[in-house]
Chain A
Amino acid sequence: MLKEGKSPSIEYRSLLLSRDSDSYDGGALPPLKAAHLNAPKRARSPSIAIYCCAGPEASAQVDYDGEMQAKAKRLVRFNAELSQPLRKLQDLIKQKPLGKKQTGTMMDTRSVNDHPAGTPQVLTSGDILSDYGGSKSSDAVIGLCQDMCPESEREERERKGDLDKYERLNGERNQTNKFLAVKKYNRTAERDADLIRPMPVLQKTIDYLLDILGQPYSDNFLGIYNFLWDRMRAIRMDLRMQHIFNQDAITMLEQMVEPAELSLDLAKMAPEVRCSPEIMFARNVARACRMGNYITFFRLAKKATYLQACLMHAHFAKIRTQALASLHSGLQNNQGIPIQHIVKWLGMEGEDIEALLEYHGFALRKYEEMYMVKVGPFCNSDTDFPIKCAKLVFGPEAVRKGDG
């Protein structure tokens, strides 16, 4: 059962807001305004709690020792999951090649650069191209970088003072070392093997990042989580450059929202590929996402492999916002739904459901169980609630949550 009385979520919000807002007067809480949480068109919100919420045994135990155990479990599972794809790679090699993926996309990156001066400026579709990385052929790059951050990048960022708080040695802006620096996300995909981290190093890096997650809650947690989000993105990029996973399916899971090129990409695939399990999974996920069918989406997420879930996670926030908006529009005023249903439907096991609900303008009321109740308009429809790991919010005095 949830702890009654002062909801930790209010504390959390006020701490968030005290960083930003001057207008907070202790009365009605203004909506969360952090510019960098507003993704321009695709509402991708940073999230690190991927390790917490995805997977069948999704409800993490949140008391302190339980935390440690849970974290250890996650690492074990994540390790298991990471070593799986190496076997998958063997399978991929045995099968037919997965078609000339995205000759379109790879030409995009080139034609952008090729236009002679004086011709009209060419727009790219932003996230789509940059995240894809535009690798030219189906040859995988083999990563050789043995550190969490390639040395050349480390040195350059030291020179420029471009070090995140968590990377600084003794708090110095211009000093880091290989135990602290973590490769940053770069829009342009470098194919230089020395800059790409192989699997074991990526695993180490993830371990390290998870450790940071385990640090006590501080009022700079926005800082942690943007840092972690960026570094995770870089890890995904390295994974992709090495073609470790079924690239088409990966890209599809990431590009779920963009209809135009997805349609053409699917058309280019041979039918066997299009109907392969990974692609079908990605398509079903994409369909659920487009329909706003949160039930199917989160059911798929719970069935997903850990890595698939990691990729889907980029869209969790958006789907949840839309789900709550839909439910909101279908409820009468002063009517509601038991929170435990919402937790289950939205895959929020181990996460702060109250904060999410309050953020969007629902009230929390206890009847025979806790309900989310519609009391007014839906708030923050265009700004997704940042998903956080439960323990970031609750800290040591965390409460055990039952399975939703």
Chain B
Amino acid sequence: MAYLSMGEAHRRITDYLSCFSAALLSQDGPSLTPLLLVSSNSPLLLSVAHALDVFSEWPRLVDQIDDQVQLFAEIVSPLLRCLQSFRAGQFAEAYVSFEKSANAFLQEFRNWESSWAMAAMYTVAHEIRILAEKADKELALLGKNPEKLQAAGSFLMKVFGVLAGKVSKRVGALYITCQLFKIYFKLGTVHLCRSVIRSIDTARMFDFEEFPVRDKVTYMYYTGRLEVFNENFPAADEKLMYALMHCNPQREANIRMILKYLIPVKLSLGILPKLWLLEKYNLIEYKDIVSSLKSGDLRLLRHALVEHEARFLKSGVYLVLEKLELQVYQRLIKKIYIIQKEKDPSKAHQVKLETIVKALKWLELDMDMDEVECIVAILIYKNLMKGYFAHKSKVVVLRKQDPFPKLNS
């Protein structure tokens, strides 16, 4: 660490404070934002943090600033303390300080008529989440209760309320919502998303089209994921497709994230992605699954689920993929039907349960007649197959016309 003189430290701190004060007074958003980016480790903030360590009496410098913003000290002092703690790697403390600053900032923000500080508010929202995540990690390592991310969520709910309250500020609500989504998803409390979604979707004050594209894409991505969790595939398809269509095509990482969820949805709707797509966006984990759907190879599907279990569970699509079993069964029976049709078209529509049992045995899957009959019944019930089964003769009689309908929404 380079040597820093008291004089130099003093200068850095007062510079920072004057910049801050000037930005507030002249309502200069772009100047304010960089001063808040605690987690960015920007050279500016690192140097200020260093100066704070050297010039330990910096709090009185804050008092010396004659600022017309009432809560100036309440915003800036905790913020500076946060910078110090962050640089020292004490994230829980950094969070606590930042939260104080953020609350004070929000109070002032509430009073400003125009939305000049919107970008700064976004920054605060983003920073508080990042700091909370780091704080919780630290707390968990120390064996303490990781509660900061949840606290950040509460703060953001307050911000949401403030933004919703003023016409000029409403446009920021979606960004805050997305930050909240990220928090809830991280915490695993996804059901808490519901209340915010309700506000966005139903409150007449919000016009979805007015929000910036970037926020709309993020919003649709998260709400689409929620639909995936709840297995509402048509809705999930709609939302994720929106996100995909409106996402900047050069943002490949984002496209990949959307596809990661869109693919299971499409699979559930019977639409298979091409291999090049999986390869281009590095989603090879879906390759075997797609193959199994094409070939009716149940063993392959199960194997793929086991192999990528951790990954699929983490992204929350495991259960969706598991359900594809039914479609694989359907495909298997369809193959039998096709083979039979080639041999003897007049009898093709009658498939013995025995045949299905044999086919499964060939795939090293041991299922008995009762279970096969059960699967057949389910397939018919779910409209994956049209026909009926005759219990006594142990036969499935398929409808002559289109016995394997396309999956409907």
Interface residues of A (CB under 8 A from B): 100, 102-105, 107-108, 110-111, 114-116, 118-125, 128, 259-268, 271, 274, 287, 290-296, 323, 325-327, 329-332, 335-338, 341, 345
Contacts and interface: CB of A to CB of B under 8 A. Distances in A.
Contacts of B325: 291
Q: Which of B190, B199, B374, B389 has the most CB of A within 10 A?
A: B374
Contacts of A105: 188-189
Contacts of A338: 391
Interface string B185-222: 00111111011101100000000000000000000000
B371 A293 contact: yes
A102 B187 CA distance: 9
A260 B191 contact: yes
A114 B194 CA distance: 17
Given A100-B140, A114-B150, A326-B377, 7 more contacts: A105-B189, A120-B160, A265-B188, A323-B377, A330-B376, A330-B380, A341-B370
A331 B189 contact: no
B187 A260 contact: no
Given A108-B192, A120-B198, A123-B195, A291 B323 contact: yes
Interface of B: 140, 146-147, 150, 153-154, 157-158, 160-161, 187-192, 194-196, 198-199, 226, 229-231, 309-310, 313-314, 316-320, 322-323, 325-326, 370-371, 374-378, 380-381, 387-391
Contacts, number: 141
A271 B310 contact: yes
A121 B203 CA distance: 13
Contact of B146 (A103, A287, A290, A329): A103
A325 B199 CA distance: 38
Given A107-B187, A259-B319, A293-B375, A267 B314 contact: yes
B319 to A, nearest CB: 5
Contacts of A261: 188, 190-191
Nearest to A327: B377
A102 B189 CA distance: 10
A100 B153 CA distance: 21
Contact of A102 (B150, B188, B378): B188
B376 to A, nearest CB: 6
A100 B190 CA distance: 18
Contact of B381 (A122, A271, A330, A336): A330
A100 B387 CA distance: 49
A118 B190 CA distance: 21
Nearest to A264: B188
